[in-house]
Amino acid sequence: MDGNWAGSIMNLLDRIIKLIILNVLWFLFTIVGLVIFSFMPATASVYMIIRKWMNGENLDNNVFLDFWKHFKANFVKTNLVGVVFLIIGLFLYLDILILLGTEALIGKVLLALVIMLCFIYFATLLHFFPLFSRLDMKVFNYFKLALVMGISKPFTTILMVLWLSVVVILSLEFTVIIPLFFVSLICVGINWVSVRNLEKTE
């Protein structure tokens, strides 16, 4: 009995330490890559490693090597996706800035439509990473599936947003979370919600 407790505690501590390492690696790689070139592959790497942990797959004892392997392998593909998301995001942002300055009724209607598109855009982005870590598809298919999931699974999307909000609020209240668990916690929660949803779909 004592041995089981000791083993469980050691396993829990091991996972906590690995989450901290993952979080630190994400920040390091993102900063070194000047954010623009490394945000997407670094985030995808965290999701891929966490998905493996959740599936109970055998992992490299060296988290850095595992992270680096995924980072290199998906650098080009994820950055292509990142460029598309960035361009769409900039267009939406500029549209909002322009429409905020108009008093016409049509302008207000268009602003409401653009805000709705922003929600769909954000939902697509949230669903993209769990799908990318789980499925092997062509780049455009990730967009289509993430978009479909974001629209057709509103409850799942709401849960993702709620989890993201909780982590952000806690991190602002207890800033020590940011360097230790911020990104890792976000990825764990969103990935878990996505996996449960995909299992039901399958």
One pLDDT digit (tens) per residue for the chain, 202 residues: 455 777 678 888 888 999 999 999 999 999 988 888 899 999 999 999 999 888 877 666 689 999 999 999 999 999 999 999 999 999 999 999 988 888 888 888 999 999 999 999 999 999 999 999 998 888 889 989 999 999 999 999 999 999 999 999 999 999 999 999 999 999 999 999 998 877 666 5
Q: Quickly count: other Cβ atoms within 10 Å of residue 82's Cβ.
A: 19
**Whole-model pTM?**
0.90
The Cβ-side half-sphere exposure at 143, using a 13 Å CA radius, reads 13
**Under 8 Å between Cβ of 186 and 164:** yes
Distance CA 57, CA 133 (A): 14
Q: Is the dihedral of CA 155, 161, 164, 166 positive or negative?
A: negative
Beta strand extents in the chain (DSSP E only): none
